Chains A and B, each alone.
Chain A
Amino acid sequence: MWSWVLHRITGVAIFFFLLVHILDSVVLNFGPDAYDRVIGTYKNPVLGLGEAALVAAIVFHALNGIRIILIDLWSKGTRYQRAMFWIVVILWAVLMAGFLPVHLHNAFTEGQ
């Protein structure tokens, strides 16, 4: 049940970010100055933490999404759904442990 709540909340959060993210990409059509100013707003520690949270949400949604698909389509999926949830949590932790130091370093250091 908590995996379902988390899957929902992360799905909605990603959707709203996706709307913003496509709009910021559309600014590419207005030339380098406009785009660099818009994308520049992503490059500070505060939004850096936001991006980290967003990646955490996407990675969970993606891994748990695969789990949902396996529960639906794999004959043993329901039997192993709880084990697969813990695999999702562990894979999520491993991927985030790899991602966070790299990203937070970039987000908290100055310049291009």
Chain B
Amino acid sequence: MATIDAPRTVPSPARRRGRGNWEKWGWIYMRVSGVLLVILIFGHLFVNLVAGDGIKAVDFAFVAGKWASPFWRVWDGLMLWLALIHGGNGMRTLVNDYAYRPTVNRALKWAIFLAVAILIVLGTYTVTAFDPCPSDPSLSFCQ
């Protein structure tokens, strides 16, 4: 059996004076978002990879067809936010576990935060503002 280091003190302790218990909310968030993500991701994988011709059918027109209905825009938008924040917070746990040096620890957490924030902005813009019709008026629902 491999051995791992005993739990160790994080460079920047979670509880600093008077900051409330953010770690508890993170813990709850990981679980609530996890339950929702099971439904969202399994549905996403089934519709995009299993139903019909699966990966072969996925192209601009396929996404345009799905996003013709607000239902899938909300679905994908929720998945975007929940998964990025869940994954980002999970990555923060790993950084706290493995990056001992305070500067490295802080730099990595900033990188994760920036990646998550930028992708939430870009992704939210795409899933809300996307309009296929100017570039491909031949799509059936554009006529």
Is A8 touching B122 in the complex (CB atoms < 8 A)?
no
Give the interface residue-count category, chain B: 35 or more
Q: Please judge, given known A-B contacts A12-B94, A62-B41, A66-B34, whether A39 and B122 are in contact too, CB under 8 Å.
A: no
Which of B's residues lie within 8 Å of A, judged by CB? 1, 31, 34-35, 37-38, 41-42, 45, 49-50, 53-61, 63, 80, 83-84, 87-88, 90-91, 94, 115, 119, 122-123, 125-127, 129-130, 132, 135-136
Is B50 touching A112 in the complex (CB atoms < 8 A)?
no
Task: Check: A80 CB closer than 8 A to any chain B CB.
Answer: no
DSSP class of B's interface residues: helix, strand, loop or mixed? helix
Query: Would you give the shortest CB distance from A87 to chain B, in whole angstroms?
Result: 15
Which of A's residues lie within 8 Å of B, judged by CB? 1, 8, 11-12, 14-15, 18-19, 22-23, 25-26, 28-29, 31-32, 35-36, 39-40, 42-43, 48, 51, 55, 58, 62, 65-66, 68-69, 72-73, 99, 102-103, 106-107, 109, 111-112
Is A112 touching B126 in the complex (CB atoms < 8 A)?
no
B35 partner, pick from A1, A42, A51, A69, beta carbons under 8 A = A69
